[in-house]
Homo-oligomer: A and B are copies of this chain.
């Protein structure tokens, strides 16, 4: 345990260049004395530095510092370099999105053209008549009472959940929800359970707080619950971050049988389940099983729901639902993070969320997405790539041939104005090299066909 702190102590000094490249590290004796640890602890730390390519040994002289490569710093296995002292912040996904391309298959977002924009704009104008002082008024940190009341009633009606407005915290998008939960629960070196693969930006957020990962494979059948139990028992993880419904990136859905059992495991081992339910409304043929938190009586599930994502994504209205003690802590974190989501966004969203127009919109949207999924599947059918056809959500998760050079494939795609998400960044272990995520939600049908054809041609040319 402690040699890791000595290791991190050295790493931060390297990052800050207090100690320069090719400089000699203090002798083991010196540093042991300086830090008040025994020499074996320092030796273990130095050996880990060497192992991670941070230091090299000169015969009969000692340990010397290697020039730092920030990228490599990131690429290390999180269990070895847990990123405590949140060294270099990194967000792999947003780096990909910064590349300007025409055929955006990396964006798991709704095509703005699929939204009832005119209706929305007209609607907004009404809102400012209802709340003439909206522009001058702040929200509380927890979020607008009226909106929380609305959303809690919605959850009660749709999911027979037992909750009131005080069990909700409004966040600026689901990303902020993930960040606030991490900030509140993750301490450096803490172990957390994560799906393999999972949402890349969540992994980067967890890393930024120094988490170590305990990966659990997700399959069309769900998780290996024996492994989950073993990991909970052995490591007492702070929480299990999961996306059990139309999972990102795979599209899989954890069956209801497992949901009940997972809640029982959570209670038994006092491990929170962070249920990120981003795609619940985006089903195709049939509605998904009820959220995990509806099985929860003891309050071990913390539920993240993005409400605006399919309705008015520009407003960024999400909520965290959990037991009162959890919401109270997260509300403090929220007050430190930004003092509360702007009231304007909350009030604009509030009234029309449940309007009939919105329900019609959701139905149309599901059909439009299903059509786009079909088009994408048609266009990749001939490639021989493997995937499980998603029954909801926004993504196709594809297995390319073994040893396929995905990295140069991605670069060539960028060059030809196509983007996708490489599997490695969705994998807590940074493997899954032959997998890619293609989102069919963001580009229109015509561009979808063109873009995928182009992508498939590039792939062919790689062989």
Contact = CB atoms under 8 A, between A and B. Distances in A.
Given A2-B36, A129-B121, A314-B343, A138 B109 contact: yes
A329 B134 CA distance: 33
A282 B299 CA distance: 47
A394 to B, nearest CB: 14
Interface stretch (A112-120, A241-249, A373-381, A423-431): A112-120
Contacts of A132: 117-118, 121
A136 B110 contact: yes
Nearest to A336: B205
A186 to B, nearest CB: 10
Interface residues of A, number: 74
A315 interface: yes
Contacts of A94: 141, 332, 335, 339
A176 interface: yes
Contact of A172 (B40, B172, B187): B172
Interface in A290-344: 312-316, 329, 332-333, 335-339, 341-344
A372 B314 CA distance: 38
Contacts of A342: 172, 314-316, 342, 345
A81 to B, nearest CB: 15
Contacts of A348: 344
Contacts of A329: 89
A179 B128 contact: no
A85 B187 contact: yes
A344 B315 contact: yes
Nearest to A317: B342
Contacts of A179: 336-338
Interface in A323-371: 329, 332-333, 335-339, 341-345, 348
Interface in A58-102: 85-86, 89-91, 94, 98
A125 B135 CA distance: 13
Contacts of A172: 172, 338, 341-342
Given A115-B136, A345-B345, 15 more contacts: A12-B187, A36-B37, A89-B333, A94-B339, A112-B136, A115-B135, A121-B134, A124-B125, A125-B128, A138-B313, A176-B338, A201-B339, A204-B336, A208-B336, A314-B343
23 contacts: A2-B35, A37-B37, A37-B38, A37-B41, A38-B38, A89-B332, A89-B336, A94-B335, A112-B137, A113-B136, A114-B136, A120-B128, A120-B136, A121-B129, A121-B135, A172-B338, A172-B341, A172-B342, A175-B335, A175-B338, A201-B335, A205-B336, A344-B348
Interface of A: 1-3, 5, 12, 35-38, 40-41, 85-86, 89-91, 94, 98, 109-110, 112-115, 117-118, 120-121, 124-125, 128-129, 132-138, 140-141, 171-173, 175-176, 179, 183-184, 187-188, 201, 204-205, 208, 312-316, 329, 332-333, 335-339, 341-345, 348
